[in-house]
């Protein structure tokens, strides 16, 4: 399945809990903001938003990473564009 | 395992409850909390005060969530006694809650200053944030020359206040006990970098202030320093740190030093009794000593770790925790065991006019890092710390 993952750079304070939990999906940039990567790879320009193909297990971990954000800077959408986190 | 009681409904306690419910559908989970709100993010309070997020977004859970998860939450309740031999806790309502496993996630207490006329602000919880918003609104209606604030302290919460007052164009004086910001944590060079940034943004900084007096009977009028200087203020933001509650837990029989002592499994000396988050002092195998960390990431992951242990998946707690803040946009990241006095060795990696990167070492290994103005080495340093494995003596 596909997930669209979006980090709001205005909310991100660089706590990096998402990176700690889901290091294949999130990475910190030089401005100390989280960015979204695809299975450890930053194909194309660095970006705070990406749609990636994930397994059920990967989805669960990415959701944990998003939920760990103390400023709710990470939003997750499913294939139909429905926001699944924050619900 | 029939009954699990969790003391504290902050991020550590709530994460423990949430994870435990995932792993065990049958166990009875009781969460005792002194505050009267569902879980909210203390980290986002600054954003909330500045109007960047609405109040409802500060809350991470709703009361319905606890109900749906079958977590028996008891808000506005204090614990009066913990009996780890007969296995129950006694609440302020006089109830006795039996437990098979107990998680202490009691957080920490705010350091305060005496004599508090209205206008003296702390930023511990959502109620404080609501009050600060009301104060700022009042101040902004006063004549321009009366729109002034004072910040007392030079650490994490002080930075929040400074950024908040700057956001609302309220000029402010900063009162520091040492000669710079966060003087017991930061190197002199790092303090210089912050001082430069602060002055460039118009802050008036008063250093080495050992004593001061809050002036004002009903409402705050200002702060008088020991040398006679009077700093007029309609709001005084106080950020002088926190400390874990110690005497209560000592009286209950726990071993307490800087926090409730645990091993690397977060276990106290009593079987199936755990301490996590700000209230715990645990043996950190990545740092090589017992530490107290007061950050969100540590609290959350420790809560989750003890839930796993209670469900039968006992393992050594390993996390390179970090936190992050900024002063007028100057990024600061703090990683690992940041007790300067306990570091065997410190090493400056970068020292320029607007950046300061320093690491702390123990046994030749990096155990902590302070990155200011240049955070590019964060991931590499974190990865190095993660490789450590110190044994408990």
Per-residue b/e over B97-136, b at no fewer than 16 CB within 10 Å?
bebebbbbbbbbebeebeeeeebbbbbbebebbeebbebb
* Selected residue of A20, A35, A86 to mutate for chain B interface (largest B Cβ count, 10 A): A20
Q: Which of A17, A27, A40, A63 to mutate to test the interface with B (most CBs of B within 10 A)?
A: A17
Which among A32, A70, A86 is the nearest to B43, CB-wise? Answer: A70
Q: B37-59: per-residue pLDDT in tens?
A: 999 999 999 999 999 999 999 99
DSSP structure string for B7-19: E--SHHHHHHHHH
| pLDDT exceeds cutoff 70 at B10 | yes
Q: Which of A28, A68, A72 sits opposite B379 (nearest CB)?
A: A28
Question: Cβ of A27 under 8 Å from any chain B Cβ?
Answer: yes
User: Reduced to 3 states, what is the DSSP secondary structure of residue B96?
Assistant: strand
Distance in angstroms (rounded) separating the CA atoms of residues B364 and B344:
9
Q: What is the pLDDT of residue B115?
A: 59
pLDDT at residue B377 in the model: 93
Q: Express each pLDDT in B214-262 by its tens digit.
A: 999 999 999 999 999 999 999 999 999 999 999 999 999 999 999 999 9
Q: What is the residue-averaged pLDDT of chain B? A: 95
Instruction: Tell me if B53 sits within 8 A of B65, measured CB to CB.
Output: no
**Are the beta carbons of B334 and B370 closer than 8 angstroms?**
yes
Q: With a cut of 70, which residues of chain A have pLDDT below it?
A: none
Reported confidence tier of residue B391, pLDDT bands at 50, 70, 90: confident
Q: Does the pLDDT value for residue B313 go beyond 90?
A: yes
pLDDT of amino acid B346: 97
Alpha carbon of B318 to those of B94, B119, B169: distances in Å?
38, 42, 43
Alpha helices in chain A (DSSP H): 17-21, 56-67
pLDDT of B100 reads 98
Q: How close does chain B come to A27, measured CA to CA in Å?
A: 9
Cα(B277)–Cα(B117) distance, integer angstroms:
32
Q: Which of A32, A71, A86 sits opposite B375 (nearest CB)?
A: A32
CA distances from B332 to A4, B254, B326, B329, B379 (A): 29, 36, 5, 9, 14
Q: What local confidence, expressed as pLDDT, does residue A67 receive?
A: 92
Q: How many CA atoms lie within 13 A of B293 on its CB side?
A: 29
> Closest Cα of chain B to A40: distance in Å?
14
| 8 Å CB contact of B41 and A16 | no
Model confidence at B286, pLDDT cuts 50, 70, 90, reads: very high
- Distance between CA atoms of A74 and A65, rounded to whole angstroms? 9
Kindly determine whether residue B378 and residue A16, on different chains, have CB atoms separated by under 8 Å. yes
Tell me if chain A has a CB within 8 Å of the CB of B322. yes
Which parts of B54-185 are beta strand (E)?
Answer: 71-74, 79-83, 88-91, 96-98, 101-104, 109-110, 120-121, 149-152, 172-175
Span B92-145, pLDDT tens digits? 999 999 999 999 999 999 999 875 799 999 999 999 999 999 999 999 999 999
Q: Which residues, at least 6 apart from B174, have a Cβ–Cβ distance to it below 8 Å? A: B150, B151, B154, B158, B162, B198, B203, B204, B205, B206
């Amino acid at each position: 399945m596909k997930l669209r993952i979006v980090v709001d750079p205005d909310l991100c304070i660089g706590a990096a809990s998402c990176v700690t939990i889901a290091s294949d999906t999130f990475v910190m940039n030089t401005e100390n903001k989280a960015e979204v990567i695809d299975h450890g790879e930053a194909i194309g320009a660095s970006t705070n938003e990406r749609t990636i193909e994930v397994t059920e297990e990967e989805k669960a971990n990415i959701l944990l990473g998003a939920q760990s954000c103390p400023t709710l800077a990470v939003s997750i959408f499913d294939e139909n564009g429905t926001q699944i986190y924050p619900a | 395992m029939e009954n699990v009681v969790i003391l504290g409904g902050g991020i550590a306690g709530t994460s423990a409850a949430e994870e435990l419910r995932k792993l065990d559908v049958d166990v009875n989970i009781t969460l005792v909390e002194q505050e009267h709100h569902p879980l909210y993010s203390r980290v986002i309070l600054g954003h909330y005060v500045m109007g960047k997020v609405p109040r409802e977004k500060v809350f991470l859970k709703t009361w319905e969530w606890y109900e749906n998860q079958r977590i028996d939450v008891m808000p506005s309740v204090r614990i009066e006694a913990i009996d780890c031999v007969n296995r129950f806790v006694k609440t302020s309502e006089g109830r006795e809650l039996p437990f098979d496993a107990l998680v202490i996630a009691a957080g920490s207490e705010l350091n305060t200053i005496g004599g508090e006329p209205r206008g003296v602000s702390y930023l511990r919880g959502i109620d404080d944030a609501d009050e600060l918003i009301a104060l700022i609104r009042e101040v902004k209606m006063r004549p321009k020359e009366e729109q002034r604030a004072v910040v007392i302290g030079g650490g994490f919460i002080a930075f929040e206040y400074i950024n908040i007052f700057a956001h609302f164009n309220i000029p402010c004086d900063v009162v520091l006990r040492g000669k710079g910001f966060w003087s017991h944590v930061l190197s002199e060079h790092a303090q210089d970098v912050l001082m430069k940034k602060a002055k460039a943004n118009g802050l008036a900084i008063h250093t080495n202030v050992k004593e001061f007096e809050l002036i004002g009977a009903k409402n705050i009028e200002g702060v008088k320093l020991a040398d006679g200087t009077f700093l007029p203020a309609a709001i005084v933001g106080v950020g002088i740190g926190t400390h874990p509650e110690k005497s209560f837990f000592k009286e209950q029989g726990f071993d307490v030093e800087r926090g409730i002592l645990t091993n690397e499994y977060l276990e106290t000396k009593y079987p199936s009794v755990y301490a996590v988050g700000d209230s715990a002092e645990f043996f950190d195998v990545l740092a090589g000593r017992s530490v107290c960390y007061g950050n969100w990431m540590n609290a959350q992951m420790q809560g989750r770790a003890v839930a796993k242990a209670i469900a039968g998946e006992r393992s050594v707690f390993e996390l390179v925790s970090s936190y992050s803040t900024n002063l007028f946009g100057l990024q600061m990241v703090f990683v690992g065991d940041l007790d300067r006095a306990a570091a065997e060795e410190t090493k400056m990696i970068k020292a320029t006019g607007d950046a300061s990167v320093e690491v702390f070492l123990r046994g030749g290994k990096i155990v902590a890092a302070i990155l200011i103005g240049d955070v590019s080495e964060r991931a590499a340093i974190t990865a190095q710390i993660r490789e450590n494995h110190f044994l408990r003596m």
